[in-house]
Amino acid sequence: MARTKEFDPEAALDTAMRLFWRKGYEGTSTSDLTDELGIARASLYGTFGSKHALYLAALDRFLSGAAGPTPADILASRESALDSIRDLLETSVVPPRGDTPAGCFAVNATVEHGDTDPEIARRTTGNVSRLETALYGALLRARAEGELAPGVDPKAAATMLAALNHGLKVLARAGEGQSDRIRTAIASAMSMLGAPPHADTD
Amino acid sequence: MARTKEFDPEAALDTAMRLFWRKGYEGTSTSDLTDELGIARASLYGTFGSKHALYLAALDRFLSGAAGPTPADILASRESALDSIRDLLETSVVPPRGDTPAGCFAVNATVEHGDTDPEIARRTTGNVSRLETALYGALLRARAEGELAPGVDPKAAATMLAALNHGLKVLARAGEGQSDRIRTAIASAMSMLGAPPHADTD
DNA sequence: CGCTTTCGAGACTGCTCGGTCAAATATCGC
DNA sequence: GCGATATTTGACCGAGCAGTCTCGAAAGCG
């Protein structure tokens, strides 16, 4: 029949994701991509169509959890809902490890494109609302378990925590992720929700 | 002696600031700049040196308050410290008006460049620490006035609010600034600090 | 093995990029 | 008005951009 592909498109997409994540859309050239993916120009265009399509595919891959557990995963992974929220905030500020950049590709995409690109805007706003919904669920769970401080409205607090999470990712991108200041800031937010002081269990 | 400039460098810098703010560094070409500023290429280079130098000058102009009152101004402009903090958060999410884009040039710069450009990183981290210091002062003032909820550590809360403020600016950039959701999220943060429910006085 | 079909490498397209230059032009003290 | 100086203009530079094309190579089938 025909010749088979010599590279793994999934692996290439993964590499492209990290490259766009690190350097942004405008800051990444097609030569950067072919160099880093180790494939030829025509292979890139034949497989992904265009730089823009590749960017969207990379963003989709990021949002579906290719760079680690999704927020919803994290928020469901602990018995204590407040503990899971703390986990979420703390994973947002992890420093870069290996070839995984600091910060968040989705936040970078939001800031770079604002609402100018509908395809991207649809993905980033969807990402925000999914995060808020997951946080809302976790807060309801916390309230049911009696963890949540009285007077905290779960809906409003979910939006607030989503915004805080975005802000933490901006600071992580700036390289401030591992500072003690940031850790105490997260602790401050958690104590406002009603969490007792946290003994680090890493 | 010599011929006088036919354009106002201050006004041109102001326009350049809004352009970089809206489109980012990589997304703004020198032709975009000359078109928008209404000056010739050589005038731009003769006056500002390079695209990079112009960007830094625009960022400095933004940080020194050319786009509105600085955070320190806002935090000092109300009798009630908590009211001034609420004002700060609410000005972070104002939608674009006129030629002023939504969001925050400094946050955009932080996300676009991370810590890769030292000149830019110095400015953005300095901006964050100034914001935190100003918030810390406001929280101390709130505590002295008895406004602050007991159990809130001013230092940690200042960092948390700075991060939240960054996150709000990301959401504003995405066009979500004027939603009721965001307003209630700010109210949620304020109530956690100890503020009574807020009757809007706009 | 030979045929067909897809793939990959790299040259190539037209275009835009950031930045420079020479010449024309305007302003000033005299 | 004249000469000196600074600015404007618009052409120009090499480089890099996103994307296309050609052509040789390789894989599956008979």
Predicted confidence (pLDDT) per residue in B96-109, tens digit = 998 899 999 999 99
Taking contacts as CB-CB distances below 8 angstroms, the residues of chain B near A114 are: 22, 101-103, 173-175
Decide if A163 and B182 are in contact by the 8 Å CB cutoff: yes
- Per-residue pLDDT for B144 more than 60? yes
pLDDT tens figures, B34-46: 999 989 898 999 9
Q: Which part of chain B has CATH 1.10.357.10?
A: 68-193
The CATH number corresponding to A68-193 among 1.10.357.10, 1.10.20.60, 1.10.3720.10, 3.30.450.70 equals 1.10.357.10
Task: Give the distance, in angstroms, between residue B94 CA and nucleotide D4 C1'.
Answer: 52
Task: Give the distance, in angstroms, between residue B43 CA and nucleotide C26 C1'.
Answer: 15
User: Which two three-digit tokens encode residue B18?
Assistant: 């809004």
Q: Is the distance from CB of B102 to CB of B177 less than 8 angstroms?
A: yes
Compute the average pLDDT of residues A102-111: 98
Distances (CA, A) of B27 to A80, B42, B188: 44, 21, 36
Between A191 and A199, the higher pLDDT residue:
A191
pLDDT band (50, 70, 90) for residue B143:
very high
CATH fold group of domain B9-63: Arc Repressor Mutant, subunit A (1.10.10)
A11 CB-to-strand C distance under 7 Å: no
Query: Of B20, B45, B49, nearest to B32 (Cα)?
Result: B20
HEC readout, B111-171: HHHCCCCHHHHHHHHHHHHHHHHHHHHHHHHHHHCCCCCCCCCHHHHHHHHHHHHHHHHHH
H helix runs in chain A, sequence order: 9-23, 30-37, 41-48, 51-61, 71-75, 81-91, 105-113, 118-144, 154-173, 180-193
State residue A177's pLDDT score.
80
Chain A: closest CA distance from residue B168 (Å): 6
- Collapsing DSSP to helix, strand or coil, A115 comes out as coil
Chain A: closest CA distance from residue B78 (Å): 23
pLDDT band (50, 70, 90) for residue B7:
confident
Q: Which part of chain A has CATH 1.10.10.60?
A: 9-63
Taking contacts as CB-CB distances below 8 angstroms, the residues of chain A near B159 are: 181-182, 184-185, 188
How many contacts does A have with B, using Cβ atoms within 8 A? 153
Among all protein residues, pick the one whose CA is nearest to the C1' atom of D5.
B2
Taking contacts as CB-CB distances below 8 angstroms, the residues of chain A near B110 are: 170, 173-174
Chain A: closest CA distance from residue B176 (Å): 9
